[in-house]
Amino acid sequence: MTAFANLFRHLPKPPAFVILAAVLATVGAPATPSADPVAATNAGGPRSDRFGIFDVSSDRRTVETLDRLGVGWVRVQWQMGEAGGERRINRIATMAGILADRGIGLWLTVYHRDPTNILDAGTVGYANATRGGFPPRDGAVYQGRLKRGVGRIVEVHRAAGRAPGGWLIVQVGNEVLPRDVYPPDRKVRFWHGTAEQYLWTLSLGYTAVKALDPAIPVAAAGISSAAFEAIGRGQRRIETWNEQLLTRGRFDWADVHLRHAIADIPAKMRWVRQFWSGPVAATEVAGPDPRTEPYSEALQADDLAERLRTAWSSGVDRLFWASLVENPHVARVHRREGLIERGTWRLKPAFEAYRNLIETSGE
């Protein structure tokens, strides 16, 4: 039994909370569909298609808190090919089943980091880049690894009688800024290849996921808040790259990140809609804008409600606040974006603001 499974052994018994025992014991093994009446009502899909949260852990308290918050989606990340990556995807698969029983779907962001299958790291080698994805040297090897990992999540859903396409989205990379568009920087870069190499990798990922289940959506890498700011300043190389991403990439969902000024969100979405007419998620939404507004918990709560409403009215189909718990491991400017105070687990006013927004959204 994995450490994650062991952590969940002491949850209350049905009907309050049911865990798929076979899944917890061995991810990928056949499992008996849950008899939980709550899970049964969620068989058709997540309880909210509009609201989500980014950056969550897999402990019991987190699941209970997500249940209280009322979101329908969570976004987690997988460093595919790294040491420990297999254990990580096993935990994610188990987590996906537990969350789905509570009516919560999974948005999985995948970074290719297999050091034995890197095509060309250019000026940034694998050993020097502590994060971010690399283009694969062998596309078939990349696809095989991706199918094995995502396949574990697919098996968990099918074993529980759920259609995976309604509960899972696979995203290929994140905030891609190719090295032929902007000089490489190992500290901040989430992609260590060229523009063409990313589009090729995205296509490989699209084909691999659809081979598992054609109904599972694939998402393109998110357009970062910083990239939108650069586009607004007229940095043509960055604008051209993101235009190519939206027009040439093979994907089902676009992804935009919406930090900074709330007033700029409608213009950002108008720019996206010039090139992409399909569904758009914003998987990293946070405020207030640290460049212009002094942080306070009250201001964060007000910002959350206004920011999410503005994004929704501007045409964003799914919204993920970043993040659930304050994160000391990100850049200082982002450390207080969470809805919960780290250490004390105190719910900040923004948590209640988000819960109220979800409850009154009319979904």
Instruction: Give residue 317's domain range.
Output: 3-359
The model's pLDDT over 11-46, given as tens digits with 9 standing for 90+, comes to: 343 333 333 333 333 333 323 333 343 444 455 799
pTM over 0.85: yes
Percent of the chain residues topping a pLDDT of 70: 83
Which of 35-49, 231-245, 337-351 shows the lowest mean pLDDT across its residues? 35-49
Sign of CA dihedral 191, 148, 31, 211: positive
Count CB neighbours of 116 within 10 A. 10
Count of the separate structural domains present in the chain = 1
Region 83-109 average pLDDT? 95
What is the predicted pLDDT for the residue at 58?
A: 78
- The pairs formed by 271-277 with CB atoms below 8 angstroms and a separation of 24 or more are 271/228, 271/231, 272/223, 272/246, 273/315, 275/243, 275/246, 275/247, 276/246, 276/247
The model's pLDDT over 160-186, given as tens digits with 9 standing for 90+, comes to: 999 999 999 999 999 999 989 987 665
Specify the higher pLDDT residue, 118 or 97. Answer: 97
CATH of the domain at 19: 3.20.20.80
What is the predicted pLDDT for the residue at 302?
A: 97
Q: What is the mean pLDDT of the chain?
A: 86
The model's pLDDT over 329-346, given as tens digits with 9 standing for 90+, comes to: 766 666 789 999 999 999
In DSSP terms, 110 is beta-bridged to 78, 172
